[in-house]
Amino acid sequence: MVRDVAFGQYFPGKSLIHKLDPRAKILLLIGFLVIIFCTFNYFSLLLVTLFTALMILSSGVPAKFYFKSLKVIIFILVITSVLNLFYGTGTPIWQWGIIKLTVNGINRAVFVTIRIICLILASSCLTFTTSPTELTDAIERLMKPLNKIHFPVHEIAMMMSLALRFVPTLLEETDKIMSAQKARGADMESGNIIKRVKALMPVLIPLFVSAFRRAYEIATAMECRCYRGGSGRTKMKSIHMSKRDAFSFIALAAIICGVILCNIFIPAVI
Amino acid sequence: MNFISLENVVFSYTDDENVKSEKNAVDGVSLNIKKGEFVALLGHNGCGKSTIAKHLNAMLLPDSGRVLIDGDDTSDEDKTYDIRKKVGLVLQNPDNQLVASIVEEDVAFGPENLGIPPQEIRERVDYALKAVGMYDYREHAPYKLSGGQKQRVAIAGILAMLPECIVLDEPTAMLDPNGRDEVLSTLLKLNKEKNITVVLITHYMDEAVLADRVVVMDSGKILTQGTPDQVFSQVELLKKHRLDVPQSTELANKLCGCGVKIDKMPLDTEACVKMLEEVLK
Ligand SMILES: Nc1ncnc2c1ncn2[C@@H]1O[C@H](COP(=O)(O)OP(=O)(O)OP(=O)(O)O)[C@@H](O)[C@H]1O
Ligand SMILES: [Mg+2]
């Protein structure tokens, strides 16, 4: 049940996107997310959508996992698009009491929906094709300059990678504790919201206790394996930029130029 | 010279209020282990085996007495890192020992900490994963492995650090007979070919029989020690302390009880068959 969450999973592979430098991937994603929200007409929106589709196809990860990651946010998606639908400006084309539908509203709803979908798909593409270690490694390297102001870059990166490693384990544990409590007659699926929150306490308390004990054991195991922080550490998979990464930056630059040109020459619709 | 030397080690755990528990988990243990020796540590639940194991790589420091590893005192903080480099400890619970999200990256964690160059880490990781038969799983996520598979990866993680001594806390508890044989033969091979010192904590008498020396513990103390032959011939003593002996020895002992004369206690099936042939002649 809880383990169905596809977001944050990694699928090993050999696709072009898998082979990109994780640092490049992070920077590309940030650039792309910014450009997603700079689309103001349908041409630029189409451009961004096509680019997202291209990313997904070349990642070599089965499409069903992308759908899974969309499923998680479907609720947010529906709410935001409905809200946008009825908050448009301009002359209404249909009205019922205070609820009015405008062309601007419809456009807004379409834009918000597609933008959010692209955002989730692009982010999933990063996490699907990059192992958590690579990801945190890249973040560590990108934030390295912050070391100068005594920001604990390595520690933060290590914490992130441990968190990512133990998310599935803790989810599994939650499942187990819930089953155990149910077996003892706990009722977690009926009653009003207060009742349900109360019913969660017997799950949360053992979960926290075991998480702390686990953290202690993990620290012991890390010490046993000579961990002493970031200094003097090497990496098995050293990351380096290559021609491929340069090409991907050029592709992003092309998209940015395309969107900007569209914005200049075609009137905005929202 | 002794590679590991425990001199009258006493240790008790402190509880949450920082009060020492009255019962000593380890109560005056002296033990010497030579380089290249294969030692099995036996004893029933809670007798202090894991506590001893954690003393061997300075995870725990004795309350009194001292532990020397290759001549270095574990209480010397400057030496802690060198000691952990020499003595690799595989803990009892594999679940919390795997720290990376991919098997091969987890095995690389130790060598990375040691500052080994990337190319060499790659070789060591492949070697260690092949040694425990988990090479095909190198790109899997640890949480998708079974308990026994996790255990093997945890062992690989220590092997990749190429320690001079490996201490394993019940490494085979979660393995099926096949897996147990594989892990044991790996350990024996490392011990014989690379002269790596092995300290194996186990509940399986059939594993203890393979060791050069067997040390039996009971409530924080060493009850008896010696070659498997010597130790397992003391069937009565072991029984009194709720410990098993290998099945073959058990059978021989029962025969002895019925008045059959047996010169040498058999330790494994083969020896047992020979003994029975002799007896039946
Ligand atoms: N973290 C701890 N805090 C307090 N007491 C502990 C702790 N760990 C172990 N003990 C106590 O110390 C004693 C020895 O424990 P130890 O874990 O060394 O036993 P063991 O021989 O490894 O047992 P097992 O075969 O079950 O693994 C036990 O009586 C146990 O209750
Ligand atoms: Mg133990």
Query: In the predicted model, is pLDDT for residue A1 greater than 50?
Result: no
Looking at mean pLDDT, say which of A98-107, A154-163, B109-118 comes out highest: B109-118
- Cα B193–B196–B199 angle (5° rounding)? 130
Residue identifier of the C-alpha nearest atom 24 of ligand 1: B45
Q: Is the CB of B202 under 6 A from ligand 1?
A: no
State the Cα–Cα distance between residues A27 and A59, nearest whole angstrom.
17
The whole-number pLDDT of residue A6 equals 46
Q: What residue segments make up the domains of chain B, in order of their start?
A: 2-245
Average pLDDT, chain A: 87
State the Cα–Cα distance between residues A224 and B89, nearest whole angstrom.
6
Q: Is the CB of B24 under 6 A from ligand 1?
A: no
Q: What residue segments make up the domains of chain A, in order of their start?
A: 1-130+240-270, 154-238
| pLDDT (mean) for A110-122 | 93
To which CATH superfamily is domain B2-245 assigned? P-loop containing nucleotide triphosphate hydrolases (3.40.50.300)
Cβ contact (<8 Å) for B115 and A220? no
**Contacts A–B by Cβ distance under 8 A:** 98
The whole-number pLDDT of residue B215 equals 94
**Residue numbers in B near A131 (CB within 8 A):** 101-102, 105
Question: Are B215 and B222 spatial neighbours (Cβ–Cβ below 8 Å)?
Answer: yes
- In this prediction the ipTM stands at 0.84
Residue identifier of the C-alpha nearest atom 12 of ligand 1: B25
* Residue B156 CA, distance from chain mean position: 15
Count of CB atoms within 10 A of residue B185's CB? 11
Q: What spacing in Å lies between the alpha carbon of A216 and ligand 1's midpoint?
A: 16
| pLDDT (mean) for A148-176 | 88
Question: Are A162 and A218 spatial neighbours (Cβ–Cβ below 8 Å)?
Answer: yes
Best residue among B11, B13, B18 to mutate for probing ligand 1's pocket (most ligand atoms within 8 Å of CB) is: B13
Mean pLDDT by runs of 10 across the 281 residues of chain B is 91 83 88 94 91 93 93 92 94 88 92 94 94 90 87 93 94 83 86 92 88 92 90 84 80 82 78 84 79
**Residue numbers in A near B115 (CB within 8 A):** 232-234
Model pLDDT for residues A208-263, shown as the tens digit of each residue: 999 999 999 999 999 999 998 888 888 888 788 889 999 999 999 999 999 999 98
Higher pLDDT, A145 or A87: A145
Is the four-CA dihedral A20, A26, A28, A29 of positive or negative sign?
positive
